[in-house]
Amino acid sequence: MMHHLATVLASLLCVSLALTGCVSRSAYMTKAEEAEDLRKEVTQGEARNRELSSRVQNLEQKSQTLLQQSETLRKETEQKEQEIARLKSTYDQLVRDLKREIEAGEIKVTQFRDLLTVNLVEKILFDSGKAKIKPRGLEVLTRVGEILKGTADKQIRIEGHTDNVLIGRALVDKFPTNWELSTARATVVARYFQEKVRIPPERLAAAGFAEYRPVAPNTTAEGRAQNRRIEIILAPMPPALATK
């Protein structure tokens, strides 16, 4: 609009000067040049305004995007803290219910952020070289499973671990290596949780790690005893399963 107004004024000025004849051609040309300069300034001003307007719009869009990202991060952080608080409640319940076994050094319960681990030494669950759960082990697993069953949005991962002692000749046909033994133990615990504690199988996972993830040196009897263990880990559900 300003550009149009400048053009009209310049045109009227030129016509007026031409009609009145009261100025020289030199003065006329000077005024015409001034009018043209004014028109160019108005055109440049309009271009700058459009550029500034575009920049302002882009900055507003970026600001809106950052605000949305900040809000999303705030909600995710808040949700994560709530999950950790709920997990802490599960941790406290396990510690209360397993107090005797914890004091006896048979079970260790730990929590780090959104991961909770129940570490059970071999002797509470299995006889040496066996993958059949002992009666007392069944009772302990029932107590643990009933508590973990209440955390419906979490995966329960059972991991079997051994020391580095080779499988004896009497068992080598059934368990050729510690891989087979550790995996069988993890699987039988998972199956007990499914069949007896009634935990949905899609929440369960089992894996054997043989002697390759020790928590203590295998150079002493005490260290080997610590390495022969079942770890039950309560962890966030994998994304592929969480969306189902």
* pLDDT at residue 77 in the model: 72
Q: pLDDT class for 177, splitting at 50, 70, 90?
A: very high
User: Does the structure show a pLDDT above 60 at 9?
Assistant: no
Instruction: Dump pLDDT digits (tens) for 86-117.
Output: 889 999 999 999 999 999 999 999 999 889 99
Q: Flag whether the pTM goes above 0.85.
A: no
Q: What is the CATH number of domain 98-242?
A: 3.30.1330.60
**Quick one: average pLDDT of 208-226?**
96
> Domain coordinates of the chain in residue numbers?
1-11+26-82, 98-242
Give me the pLDDT at residue 16, please. 53
Which carries the bigger pLDDT value, residue 210 or residue 2? 210
Average pLDDT over residues 47-71: 86
Q: What is the pLDDT of residue 164?
A: 96
Of all residues in the chain, the percent with pLDDT exceeding 90 is: 57
pLDDT of 85 higher than 90: no
Provide DSSP, the chain: -HHHHHHHHHHHHHHHHHHH--S-HHHHHHHHHHHHHHHHHHHHHHHHHHHHHHHHHHHHHHHHHHHHHHHHHHHHHHHHHHHHHHHHHHHHHHHHHTHHHHHTTSEEEEEETTEEEEEEEHHHH--TT--SPPHHHHHHHHHHHHHHHT-TTEEEEEEEE--SPPPPTTTTTT-SSHHHHHHHHHHHHHHHHHHTS---GGGEEEEE-TTSS-SS-TTSHHHHHHHSEEEEEEEEPPHHHHT-
Q: What is the pLDDT of the chain when averaged over all its residues? A: 87
Region 168-190 average pLDDT: 96
pLDDT value for 226 = 95
Q: What is the pLDDT of residues 11-50, one digit of tens each?
A: 555 555 454 554 577 777 887 787 887 888 888 888 888 8
